[in-house]
A and B are shown apart, each in its own frame.
Chain A
Amino acid sequence: MERCRLVFSGSGGQGVITASIILAEAAALYDNLNAVQTQVYGAAARGGSTRADIIISNAEINFPKVYQPNVLVCLTQESYNKFYPIIRPGGILLTDARYVKLNRKVDARQKSLHMFENVMDKISKPIVFNICMLGAVIALTKLVRPDSIMQTLATRIPSDFLDMNRQALELGMTLGEHA
């Protein structure tokens, strides 16, 4: 596969960092790919705007930071306004329809999906918003197998919560596939 560079951005508490770790771990441990994940540290990680970089590739990854992502996810207006210029031409810019108004022209496929609303309607647990977002990302990119995401989740969360996460992942995938 081609090297894929992703940036996930949003605000502290939305699970952006966790989602980035799950995606990278799924790729590295279950899909036999190389993956590197980094994130912004400091006060921003405790409530302000957050950012995580992920690179996934079948070749060795040396430089771990992302300057021009193939995939940019913005879950708040603030992060969208801040990061939209870095999208790689022709890349995918995924936003949540409730949180982000698309008001910029970019050379990318802009996908504004109703992820948060759907999570609240169908699962009523905002905590799995990030997993729904991951579902949309993998549906749009085919980066890793959904099974790998589920296997990763199984090592991180109590089994009682797995079903809810699976629902959220599938919901995101459906949204992504129809986008």
Chain B
Amino acid sequence: MNANIKFVQGNEACVEGALYAGLDFFAGYPITPSTEIMEHLAARLPRQGGKFIQMEDEIASMCAIIGASLTGRKVMTATSGPGFSLKQEALGFAIMAEIPCVVVNVQRGGPSTGNPTHVSQGDVNQSRWGVHGDHAIVTLTASNHQDVFKMTVEAFNIAETYRTPVILLFDEVVGHLREKLVIPDEGEIPLVKRLRTAVKEGTDYHPYLPREDGRLPMSDFGSVHRYNVTGLYHDMWGFPTDDPKIVKGLQRHLVDKIESNAHQVQKYKEFYLDDAECILISYGSSARSALHVVKNRRLRGEKLGLIELQTLWPFPSQLIRERCEQAHYVLVVEMNMGQILREVKNAVNFPEKVFLANRIDGSLISDADIRNILRIIQGKGV
């Protein structure tokens, strides 16, 4: 058997993707249903010379990876809802100080301790708006292990390209289910390396002065350029300031560097869209159920299609508007009370034709759940 083919849980597929991308520092705190990620890394990282540390809490884990990223490492932490809440302040720091890092949230039912061993997709909005203050963020997701791997690599690439935290928003079903994973050969997926400054020792290095292309070359802690990193609004040296012009400029930069490159980070998959009269929009494990329904209905000649979102934030409004233009109606399939539904309704020209098929009881939404809503929309009753 090929050693590059594995039968693993989604959490392990994430680990494989992270290591492929060059992860060499992980800090975490145990929490269901993400713990397998840290367990696997506890075994794998020391063996290949990387660093693994179990911190005293969720907050500390987020802080530790930021510190390690500043020394030039590719870093990640993994958590679930309650831990994700605790990480928000430090996540905001990483956004403000522009530190590349990857944060995995394997979603469970919430709020609070909620439904720890059961699936939910309730953190979609938290991943966008959990941090205080205006900001932009990239949130990626996936529905199967091959894509978990790919999106994890993508997360590291985006984090390095834009000097930003990237959220990997998986869910309990994808995290725990086992299926086949084929690990690509080295070089098959391009990797983005840390962009380091070419400024020589003795010449002033400005850690927060964007190049013409908007990117900010970094300098590792411990090397020749010494500079300040802070969560306060800061000037091009990283020194705190409340100068209104600089504050406004930095605020704009932090949002624009993501929003104006949105098309570069918006990943999705489409199935049977060309002649689709009814378009399902889904993501994560719900997209597996949605695809199941679409395929079965296609066998019966019904014109269903599916858009599977892999980037949730920045939300691909334009894509949704364009692809759904010809549809008779749109059905959002998710496991929350309509967090992506709201975005889709805002995106399309006919919000009254957008419906929700959801499930919020901790079980994976089933084909029957989706079929029932379809029947109601089609006026056939349940």
B292 partner residues in chain A, CB cutoff 8 A? 62-63
Q: How far is the CA of A31 from the CA of B124 in the complex (A)?
A: 38
Q: Assess A65 versus B366: contact at CB under 8 Å? Given A21-B178, A36-B177.
A: yes
Q: How would residues 280 to 294 of chain B score, 1 for a CB under 8 Å from any chain A CB and 0 otherwise?
A: 000001001101100
Q: How far is the CA of A13 from the CA of B172 in the complex (A)?
A: 23
What distance in Å separates the Cβ of B116 from its nearest Cβ neighbour in chain A?
Answer: 8
What distance in Å separates the Cβ of A1 from its nearest Cβ neighbour in chain B?
Answer: 16
- Interface pair B176/A38, CB less than 8 Å apart: yes
B117 partner residues in chain A, CB cutoff 8 A? 40-42
Chain B residue at smallest Cβ distance from A61 = B179
What distance in Å separates the Cβ of A36 from its nearest Cβ neighbour in chain B?
Answer: 5
- Interface pair B291/A62, CB less than 8 Å apart: yes
Q: How would residues 338 to 382 of chain B score, 1 for a CB under 8 Å from any chain A CB and 0 otherwise?
A: 000000000000000000000000011011000000000000000
Chain B residue at smallest Cβ distance from A27 = B7
Partner of B7, one of A28, A61, A64, A65: A28
**Number of B residues whose C-beta is below 8 Å from A?**
26
Q: How would residues 29 to 44 of chain A score, 1 for a CB under 8 Å from any chain B CB and 0 otherwise?
A: 1100011111111100
Chain A residue at smallest Cβ distance from B1 = A29
- For residues 117 through 160 of chain A, which have their beta carbon under 8 Å from a beta carbon of chain B? 151
What distance in Å separates the Cβ of A12 from its nearest Cβ neighbour in chain B?
Answer: 14
The total number of A-B Cβ pairs within 8 Å is: 64
Residue A96 CB within 8 A of the other chain? no
Partner of A38, one of B116, B173, B180, B295: B173
Q: How would residues 80 to 103 of chain A score, 1 for a CB under 8 Å from any chain B CB and 0 otherwise?
A: 000000000000000000000000
Q: How far is the CA of A36 from the CA of B366 in the complex (A)?
A: 16
Residue A161 CB within 8 A of the other chain? no
Q: Assess A36 versus B367: contact at CB under 8 Å? Given A29-B5, A62-B288.
A: no
B180 partner residues in chain A, CB cutoff 8 A? 28-29, 34-35
- Interface pair B179/A28, CB less than 8 Å apart: yes
Partner of A63, one of B6, B33, B366: B366
Q: Assess A37 versus B1: contact at CB under 8 Å? Given A28-B7, A42-B117, A63-B367.
A: no
What distance in Å separates the Cβ of A25 from its nearest Cβ neighbour in chain B?
Answer: 4
- For residues 74 through 132 of chain B, which have their beta carbon under 8 Å from a beta carbon of chain A? 116-118
A42 partner residues in chain B, CB cutoff 8 A? 116-117
- Interface pair B289/A39, CB less than 8 Å apart: no
Q: How far is the CA of A64 from the CA of B176 in the complex (A)?
A: 11
Q: How far is the CA of A21 from the CA of B1 in the complex (A)?
A: 17
Q: Assess A64 versus B1: contact at CB under 8 Å? Given A24-B7, A35-B7.
A: no
- Interface pair A65/B364, CB less than 8 Å apart: yes
Residue B32 CB within 8 A of the other chain? yes
Partner of B1, one of A30, A38, A62: A30
A34 partner residues in chain B, CB cutoff 8 A? 179-180
Q: How far is the CA of A34 from the CA of B326 in the complex (A)?
A: 35
Chain A residue at smallest Cβ distance from B181 = A28
Chain B residue at smallest Cβ distance from A26 = B7
Q: Assess A24 versus B178: contact at CB under 8 Å? Given A42-B117, A62-B288, A63-B288.
A: yes
Give 21 A-B contacts (CB < 8 Å), ordered by A residue: A29-B5, A29-B6, A29-B180, A34-B179, A35-B179, A35-B180, A36-B179, A37-B177, A38-B176, A41-B32, A42-B116, A42-B117, A62-B292, A62-B295, A63-B289, A63-B292, A63-B367, A64-B173, A64-B288, A65-B364, A67-B366
- B interface residues with partner A (beta carbon < 8 Å): 1, 5-7, 32-33, 116-118, 172-173, 176-180, 285, 288-289, 291-292, 295, 363-364, 366-367
- A interface residues with partner B (beta carbon < 8 Å): 21, 24-25, 28-30, 34-42, 61-65, 67, 151
